[in-house]
Structure formats: structure tokens, C-alpha cells
Amino acid sequence: MAGIVRAFPLTPLQEGMLYHGLRSPGSSLYHGQLRADLEGPLDVEAFRAAWAGAIRRHEALRTFFAWERRERPLQVVRDEVELPLRVLDWRGVETAEAERRWAALVEDDSNRPLDLTQAPLMRVYLVRFTDERHRLLWGVHHAVADGWSAELVVDEILEELEAARGGTKPAIQPAPSYAEFVGWLESRDREAARAWWTARLAGLPGPTPLPTPARSGEDASRVSDERVLDEAETRTLKDVAGGLRVTLATLTAAAWAIVLARHTRTRDVVFGVTNSERPAEIRGVDRAVGLYLNTLPARVRLDDAEAMAAWLERLQLELSEARQHGSPGLSDLKRWADVQGADLFTSLIAFENYPDSLGGAASSGALRMTSVAVDVPTELPLALLVYPGRTLTLELVRDPVRVTSAEARALLAEVADVMRAFEEARQVGDLTRATTDPVPEGWTRGTELPSPPADVVDRILEHVRDRADTPALRGPQGSVGWGEFGRWTAGLAQRLAEATPPGAVVGILADRSPAAVAAMVATLRACRTYVPLDAHAPAGRLAVLLEGVDAVWVRRGAEDRLPSSHPLVLSLADLPDSQAVESGAEMPTPAAGIDAPRPEAPAYVVYTSGSTGTPKGVVVTRANLAWSTAARFAHYDSPPEVFLLLSPMHVDSSVAGIYWTLAAGGTLVLPPYRAEQDAASLGRLVDEAGVTHTLLVPSLHGALLDSVAPDRLASLRSVIVAGEACPEEVVRRHGTVLPGVTLHNEYGPSEATVWATVDDLTAEPAGPVTIGRPVPGARVAVVDESLRPVPVGVTGELVIAGPGVATGYRGRQDLTDERFVAVEGLGRAYRTGDRARWRADGRLEFLGRADDQFKIRGHRVEAGEIEEALRRHPAVDEAVVGLIHGGGQPALAAWLTMAGARVAPEALKTFLAGTLPAHMVPAHYAILDSMPRTPAGKLDRRAVQARGPGPTAPRATSGSASRTRPESATERTLAAVWSDVLGLEEVG
């Protein structure tokens, strides 16, 4: 045939790719990408010539595949192909815009699969940012190039460019044809391989399940998370391997075997091991471009009683023996293992060992290549890629449906932990057993608390006399001394007692301010129950929250926010006026209309988002509140002197700061509404007020650490992060910026009265942030679906028992019965819906949600409530709400089908803003033609969330993951994906 150099069969690995690729048409499962920054002057014509040279040298870059009407597919090498190079000149484009375009380009390339029947199976982009700053994007099908090849080609290109500058041609040696490799494979003794592998795989119990909970569904896309071990950690691991006389690759495989054994509770596991296979018999194979890889099963048996050193030695031997026994394809292996239907394994590990000259930054005279990223595609749901070097990088490529990002991060940490632990382990069981051990009783309970704890009002009033002239509250309008605070709250309490019957429920409509705190304490002094309201919620929502409320404290000036019909409005001044103070001066005890406080009486009702469409009110008793506060005194060494309150008043985390500080006789600093949005001015406030303690969401702490000069924060002694998962980065930053300041992580839902577990992060080395141990008096457990405790290391639902557990949801017995349940060994407990597991050191790790509840800047949000609100719009038929991560901050998105005429997202947003608080209004909207459903006809929420507008839109993420990149692939690209690929419209 004219123009054809040769045609030859595929390797088993290539055949597998062809098979999987044809099974999911349109997916870019095997689309590899290499991205590189090129710094220095670059001649575009020389660049073009260099690529043309690479294509001439390497047959693989001229190869396509043919399988129609053929018994066996063939790969066909053309003698000439056109270089698919596009040069994009973005010089003069503003940096942010250029970066946005770049992200879109990368995403577009990885979402546009290459056509296997056309050579070359690649495309090249050269983007000019400035005269001296370029970027290369090379998209190539994995069937014709592995990671080694990618770096090889880029090295050659640099060499050519350098030579061209000097006006010469480099002497790059020719490389062998891939046909030689195919011939070599076919020359191997298949019969011997069959015999060896059949024996090796005999009696295999089947594929080892993933080390994550079984989930239905799968996704064709792959995303990745990585963990870079620093030089010291890497050295430690190399020493561990050296001490045990095994390679780092064996140590990693051993760690993966242990992790699988732990999570699946089996002692006979199997996973894939991908090796580079460049046989020495083929001359110059190191210089060749092609798919020189080989994935073989590693079947690992673990006997808990075996000596660790012996097991590792055996594993190393078995892994190397396996490589000597042919390079069978997976279909052969499956047959020999007698595994029907299913895949032979569900996870693989790949040790990416490039020759020293390759990888990382390279330079060629004036042109330097910095940061190279190579994608490694795979069709398995989970792949652990190991990149050795001065720093060891562990990367998990995963199916986002079957392995969540929290699970991936935990697995990465666990692999590193296990690798380290080999040093100490004597027997295999020292490492495998950890996760089957029952949780020691001592871990599940916090320290004992003397009971019953004193009512918070009694504790607060202790300070009225002895601290009379020091400030209790400090707001933007001025301070309130302790003496004055006592009289003010007494006056307000008397007014309330006169206006309402005992047991009344009283709303408080006031932003964070001395008045709001006074209203809370006064309501408790009057033995009434308060409901803190979001003063900025739309009228429609306020009306719902005000149902069954007997009276409302309203801060002067905020009256117009109240829906008009309310019966009893009690007005509040910003600061105590003389009348209020005087009338409270001689409040008798007991006072008229005020009963003695009863511990079981409700203290407050705090509303959170409700999945069934209306917010639900958590009823917290005086005993709950007394315990929550007493536990703080028991746990923390130093009570707050000056506490900066950053939580909104209607969120339960404000309870922590208010009662802890007042019960300690300290000063509560109350910055105005939304002050937390300006980190710089918060820094000034900390400085001016001499703030010693604060509690805030981790993202705000991160902002504070980034944008405030440390000397402004010099008065701080203790910082508590709470409300949502704290990123490792924040802990690290805290350690560098505020080394003398303690950092605690508090975990807990409103239903358990603010906190349930706590961890001291101050002295924590790098690693996943844990939520610690139960707080004094609390009891917790991690349970399975039938509410039985799971062993150490196994993921389950966190349940909480003890004196903090609330009465239930106001007026919602059904919801109360669902979530407040009896758990054996714990008693009445609250099912949090949070996923967690015990670490071997007795601390808890938080692993995200089991349902569709999210945290948006510390606010608890149920997807169901927003979906219900959307469905109330006449044009909306079905709605799904989810969280997406773009540009670092999570944001809400909505997927809709419309009943009739389409309405614009802007109109939907306005509609929602009438009934939902601002943080619950999604920023992104996608209109779908139909909602994906499970085979059983149920809405498939995850499939919905991977969709763009229309039924054929591409997937949300690319089918690959990259090696070096500033953040996780998902985060880096999602913002671009959402606007460019899915076509979602961003509003507001």
C-alpha cells in the first residue's frame, strides 16, 4: 500500500485499550497530556522543524489503528504524516485571561478524544505568552506513547532547538520500531507463562474490592489527588527500605497490599503492578517512543504471624519473578486465574521510574523547561502512581464516583504511614491487625465531668459584682461594663416576663452586637427560650422561622425586616439606655413571672437547613448548654480574656464564644455584620481590642493568616477552627505565622450543642487534619448501617451521645425519630451523617458526608431544601443541587429540567432570593434536556452532576491526571470546565 511503512499486531495492553476505548465511545480515557513551561527566546520555525524531526524519527508518532473487518486489529505506520501543530499567540493578552484560556485549552484537548484510525495520534499546541515565555501542550494517545516516551520526545525537541540556535543539527540516534517489541513479546514462551501464572493465581478468591465503601455507579472520567513527601520524609522511607533490604518500589507495593488487606478485611489480595518494559534485547529501546508498559497482577498473601522481614523479602522476590514469566495480556490472565466476568483487579500501582536524564526540569542553553506535567491515563477505578526522586510523590488517580476525594487523601496518608511503620513492625499482623481491632472503650468517651454543671446564667451573674467596671461586651458603638450588663439584662428580663407567659419562645432579630447578646442572656434570665434569627434572611424565610414564636426582640432600626403581622415586638437599643439599666438595678430573685430555671427546659432553638424543604429547629436545653460550656472550662487550659466573636448570631458556633467568655468573666468583642469578610480590618480589631481567643471557620483563618501582618495578631493566645474540614495548608500556615498561638480543631453539629470532639493541632506534623477525641463528658462511636461499632480504621458514620445531645427538632417528631436513636453501648445518640474513622492513635478522622449536606463558608446547607425551593418555580420540573469546586472556594450549582419555556438563570436566582438566605442561592445553573436515572428509575444524582446542558455534553473532568501541578487536577480545572465545557452560566 502506498505511503505505508509497515503494519503489525497490537500488544495485549494496546488491545485492552482498544477494547475499553470502543466500549465507552467519546471518552478520553487514554488521552495523555504533557504540559511544559518553556522559558527563554524561542524560534517558532525551529520548534516546528524539531517536531517534524521527532515524527520522522519515531514510527509511533506516525501510527494509527485498523480493526474493521479484521480478525486481529493492526497498527499501521505511515511514512509521512502532517504535523498537527497550532501556534496560539496570546502576547498582549492580560495574564488572568491568558491563564483562563490556557485552562480551557487543556480541558478542551483532554475532552476531545483522538480518532484511533487517523495518524498521527497526537496534537501539539505552542502558546506564546510573551516573547520569552511559552507553553507546550502535547496531547497524545496512550496507545502510542508512555510517560517515558513523552519526556524523551520533549528532551529531543529541546536538543534540536538548542542545535538550531547554533545553526547545526543534533546527532540524535534513530530509535527502533515498536514492531521489534511486538516481535519480542510474541517470541516469549507462552506455555511456560501459562503454567507459572495458573499456579500463581490458583484459588484466588476473586478481585479484591476497592478499599472504599461499595457504591453503585461509575464515572468514565478520572481525577487525581497527590501527596508530596518532603525530602526528610523521603529520606526516611529510603532508609526504611534500605534497612529491610528491599527497593522503594517493593515497599510501596507492600504498603498497598496492607492497605487493601485492612480495608477489605482479607488476607489474600490482588492488585495490578505496572512496570516499564524496555527489554535489553532490543537495541536502543531506551530511545524509543511507544507503549513500553506491562501490567501484571500481584497476588499477595498475608499471614499475620509471619515475620515482617521475611514477608517483604518474599514479596520482592515474587514481584521480580512475575516479570520474568512473560508479558501475558489481561484476558489470558483472567482465563488462567479462572476469574469470570469481573476484572482481575480493581486497583493498580505504577512506579514511574524514568531514567535520570529524563523528568523534571531540563535546560538547553538559553531555553529552559520548567515544570513538566505528564498524564497517566487508566481505566481502573483506582491507581496509585509513585514518582520517586528527592521528594517522593504519591498520586491517586480515581473514579470520582467510586472513590471520594476525602477517601483518596486519607488513603494517600495511610500509604505513607504504613511505609514508615514497616521499620517498627515485627510481624505482618502488627500492621494488618490495626483495622480489625475493636475500638478501645477509652477512646469513645471524653474525660469525666462533675455533674450537674451550673446553669450558665448563674455562672455569668457571678461576675457582675466582682468585675463591675471591666467591659463584658465591646461593640462598634461602645462597650458595656459587667455591672451595667447585669442591670441591662435584668431590665430586659423583667420586660419579657411582664410581656410573655412562662415558657414563651422569643425570637431575636439583631445582627451581631451587644444588644443581641443582652437579649439572649435576658431571655435565659427570664427562663424563656430564644430563637436567634438571621436578620438578613428574606421575609419569606423569616415568616417560616417566626411560626410559633410568641414575641420578638428587634434591634432598633431593624423593625422593617420583620414580616408585618407579628404580634409582640420588643424593641432593643444598641447599648443599655438608662431606663433599662435602672429598672434592672433591683431585680428581685425570684422575680415576678420568672420561675426557677429547670435544666430540661429549652434554652434556645437554632435553625439549620432542612433536607425536606423547610428549615429545622434544633431544641437545646439549659442542661445541654450548661454542659457544653462546662466542658470548655474542663478542656482548655486558659479561659478567654478577650474573645473575638466571628460567627453570625443565628449559627450555633456563636454559642461557644458567648457563653464561654461570659461564664469566664471575660470580654466579648462583637464586630459588626459581615466584618469577617474583611480580614485586614479584623487584624486591626484584634490589635486594638487585645483579642486573646477566637473561633472561626478554617477558610477565614486562612485568609487572616495570609492578609494580616503577624504583629497585629500578637495578643492572640488561642485560635479554634470549627464548622468545616480544616485544610492541612491552614495548619501549616498557622504554625509558621503564629508559632506561639495554640490551634484547636473543634467538631460538632448543632444537635450535639456546638462541639463533640476536639483536637490540638498545635504540635501536629504534616498529615490529614484530624478532629481528635471526644470532649469532656461526650461519648462518640463510628458505626455501620446497623448502628454497630466498626473497628479501628474502618469508615462509618459518626454518632454522638452524652449530655450535649439536644431534645430534637422543634415540632418535627418524624425527623427527630429518624436522627436521634438508641445505640447499643451509647444510649440515646444523634446520627450525624458525617463519615469518619478511628486512627490507630485513637484520634478521629473526618471523611466528609454520606448525604447531600454541604458546608458553604461554615453555613450548613441541605441540597434538598434548595431543590424544593427551585421546584416551586412554575417553569422548573426537576432539580438537583450540588457543590462544585472552582477557584479554591466551593460553590453551589443547580441542574434543572424545565417544564415549559426556559427561564434564565438570573430569574431563578431572583426567585430563590425571595425565600432562601443568600448563601443558599446557587451561583451556577445548567439546564438539561432530561435527568439521568438509575436502572431502577431513580434520579442518578451523581450522573446529573457530571452533566452539562443537553444529553451529549462532555464529562466534567478529563480522563487523566497529571504529575506536577500546583493543586489537584479537579480544583485547577473545574472553574474552567464549568464555564467553558459544560456551558454553565455563572450568575452574580
* The only residue of 122, 505, 663, 771 in contact with ligand AMP, by rule CB under 6 A: 771
Per CB under 6 A, the segment of 36-44, 63-71, 301-309, 745-753 that binds ligand AMP is 745-753
Tell me which of ligand AMP, Mg ion, none is bound by residue 481, counting a contact when its beta carbon lies within the kind-specific cut-off of 5 to 8 angstroms: none
Tell me which of ligand AMP, Mg ion, none is bound by residue 795, counting a contact when its beta carbon lies within the kind-specific cut-off of 5 to 8 angstroms: none
Q: Does 834 bind Mg ion (CB under 5 A)?
A: no
Tell me which of Mg ion, ligand AMP, none is bound by residue 608, counting a contact when its beta carbon lies within the kind-specific cut-off of 5 to 8 angstroms: ligand AMP
Residue closer to ligand AMP (CB basis): 47 or 530 = 530
Give the contact letters, 590-619, x = binds to ligand AMP (CB under 6 A), - = no.
------------------x-----------
Cα distances from 433 to residues 28, 207, 297, 410, in angstroms, run 40, 21, 24, 18
Q: Does 855 bind ligand AMP (CB under 6 A)?
A: yes
* The only residue of 138, 636, 747, 838 in contact with ligand AMP, by rule CB under 6 A: 747
Per CB under 6 A, the segment of 78-86, 292-300, 741-749, 905-913 that binds ligand AMP is 741-749
Per CB under 6 A, the segment of 103-111, 746-754, 775-783, 930-938 that binds ligand AMP is 746-754
Residue type for position 898: M
Report the candidate in 544, 577, 590, 543 with the shortest Cα–Cα distance to residue 562: 543
Q: Does 444 bind Mg ion (CB under 5 A)?
A: no
Per CB under 6 A, the segment of 74-82, 387-395, 707-715, 722-730 that binds ligand AMP is 722-730
The minimum distance between CB 106 and Mg ion, in angstroms, equals 39
The minimum distance between CB 723 and Mg ion, in angstroms, equals 5
Q: Does 919 bind ligand AMP (CB under 6 A)?
A: no
Q: Does 852 bind ligand AMP (CB under 6 A)?
A: no
Per CB under 5 A, the segment of 26-34, 375-383, 653-661, 792-800 that binds Mg ion is 653-661
Q: Does 862 bind ligand AMP (CB under 6 A)?
A: no
**Cα–Cα distance between 729 and 744 in angstroms, integer?**
15
* The only residue of 27, 494, 653, 962 in contact with Mg ion, by rule CB under 5 A: 653
**Cα–Cα distance between 154 and 156 in angstroms, integer?**
5
Q: Which long-range contacts (CB under 8 A, 24 or more apart) does 280-287 make?
A: 281/184, 282/176, 282/180, 282/181, 282/184, 283/176, 284/173, 284/174, 284/175, 284/176, 285/176, 285/180, 285/181, 286/355, 287/152, 287/173, 287/175, 287/176
In 72-222, which ranges are E strands? 74-78, 85-89, 122-130, 133-141
93 burial (CB, 10 Å; 0-12 / 13-18 / 19+) is middle
Q: Which of residues 644-663 bind ligand AMP (CB under 6 A)?
A: 652
40, 132 Cβ separation under 8 angstroms: yes
**Cα–Cα distance between 428 and 315 in angstroms, integer?**
12
Give the contact letters, 397-416, x = binds to Mg ion (CB under 5 A), - = no.
--------------------
**Cα–Cα distance between 621 and 842 in angstroms, integer?**
30
**Cα–Cα distance between 863 and 613 in angstroms, integer?**
9
Number of neighbouring beta carbons within 10 Å of residue 978:
24
Q: Does 722 bind ligand AMP (CB under 6 A)?
A: yes
Which residues are within 8 A (CB) of 698 and not within 5 positions of it... i.e. 6 or more apart? 721, 723, 724, 725, 726, 727, 730
Q: Which of residues 922-961 bind Mg ion (CB under 5 A)?
A: none
Which grid cell sits at 349? 500501582
Q: Does 347 bind ligand AMP (CB under 6 A)?
A: no
The minimum distance between CB 277 and ligand AMP, in angstroms, equals 44
Tell me which of ligand AMP, Mg ion, none is bound by residue 834, counting a contact when its beta carbon lies within the kind-specific cut-off of 5 to 8 angstroms: ligand AMP
Give the contact letters, 802-841, x = binds to ligand AMP (CB under 6 A), - = no.
------------------------------x-x-------
Residue closer to ligand AMP (CB basis): 33 or 750 = 750
Number of neighbouring beta carbons within 10 Å of residue 339:
19
Element (H, E) at 770: strand 770-774
How many separate helices (H) and strands (E) can be counted in the chain?
A: 28, 42
Q: What length does the chain have?
A: 988
Per rule CB under 5 A, count of chain residues that contact Mg ion: 2
- The residue whose Cβ lies closest to ligand AMP is 750
The minimum distance between CB 757 and ligand AMP, in angstroms, equals 8
Cα distances from 193 to residues 296, 299, 321, 442, 567, in angstroms, run 12, 16, 11, 53, 86
Query: In sequence order, what DSSP letters do the residues of 530-566 get, joined into one string?
Result: EEEE-TTS-HHHHHHHTTT--EEEEETT-GGGS-TT-
Query: In sequence order, what DSSP letters do the residues of 382-444 get, joined into one string?
Result: EEEEEE-SSSEEEEEEE-TTTS-HHHHHHHHHHHHHHHHHTTT-SBHHHHHGGGGSPPPHHHH
Tell me which of Mg ion, ligand AMP, none is bound by residue 747, counting a contact when its beta carbon lies within the kind-specific cut-off of 5 to 8 angstroms: ligand AMP
Number of neighbouring beta carbons within 10 Å of residue 929:
12
The minimum distance between CB 832 and Mg ion, in angstroms, equals 11
* The only residue of 159, 226, 455, 652 in contact with Mg ion, by rule CB under 5 A: 652
Tell me which of ligand AMP, Mg ion, none is bound by residue 611, counting a contact when its beta carbon lies within the kind-specific cut-off of 5 to 8 angstroms: none
Report the candidate in 603, 596, 597, 595 with the shortest Cα–Cα distance to residue 621: 603
Which residues are within 8 A (CB) of 450 and not within 5 positions of it... i.e. 6 or more apart? none
- Helix, strand, coil percentages (3-state) for the chain, rounded to 5, are 35, 25, 40
Per rule CB under 6 A, count of chain residues that contact ligand AMP: 18
Look at residue 603 and give its three-state secondary structure: strand
Per CB under 5 A, the segment of 513-521, 644-652, 847-855, 898-906 that binds Mg ion is 644-652
The minimum distance between CB 855 and ligand AMP, in angstroms, equals 6
Residue closer to ligand AMP (CB basis): 417 or 834 = 834
Q: Does 724 bind ligand AMP (CB under 6 A)?
A: yes
* The only residue of 860, 941, 942, 955 in contact with ligand AMP, by rule CB under 6 A: 860
Q: Which long-range contacts (CB under 8 A, 24 or more apart) does 558-566 make?
A: 558/509, 558/510, 558/511, 561/509, 561/535, 561/536, 562/509, 563/539
Q: Does 854 bind ligand AMP (CB under 6 A)?
A: no
Number of neighbouring beta carbons within 10 Å of residue 438:
9
Per CB under 6 A, the segment of 329-337, 688-696, 718-726, 804-812 that binds ligand AMP is 718-726
Please tell me the number of Cα atoms within 13 Å of 391 on its side-chain side: 11
Tell me which of ligand AMP, Mg ion, none is bound by residue 725, counting a contact when its beta carbon lies within the kind-specific cut-off of 5 to 8 angstroms: ligand AMP
Residue closer to ligand AMP (CB basis): 846 or 911 = 846
68 burial (CB, 10 Å; 0-12 / 13-18 / 19+) is exposed
Tell me which of Mg ion, ligand AMP, none is bound by residue 724, counting a contact when its beta carbon lies within the kind-specific cut-off of 5 to 8 angstroms: ligand AMP
The minimum distance between CB 631 and ligand AMP, in angstroms, equals 15
Residue closer to Mg ion (CB basis): 53 or 890 = 890
Per CB under 6 A, the segment of 246-254, 302-310, 311-319, 740-748 that binds ligand AMP is 740-748
Per CB under 5 A, the segment of 66-74, 111-119, 457-465, 651-659 that binds Mg ion is 651-659
Cα distances from 868 to residues 534, 536, 758, 865, in angstroms, run 21, 21, 35, 5
Residue closer to Mg ion (CB basis): 720 or 826 = 720
643 burial (CB, 10 Å; 0-12 / 13-18 / 19+) is buried
Residue closer to ligand AMP (CB basis): 749 or 932 = 749
**Cα–Cα distance between 225 and 394 in angstroms, integer?**
9
Per CB under 5 A, the segment of 180-188, 652-660, 736-744, 813-821 that binds Mg ion is 652-660
Q: Which residues bind ligand AMP (CB under 6 A)?
A: 608, 652, 722-725, 745-750, 771, 832, 834, 846, 855, 860
Chain residues that interact with Mg ion, rule: CB under 5 A: 652-653
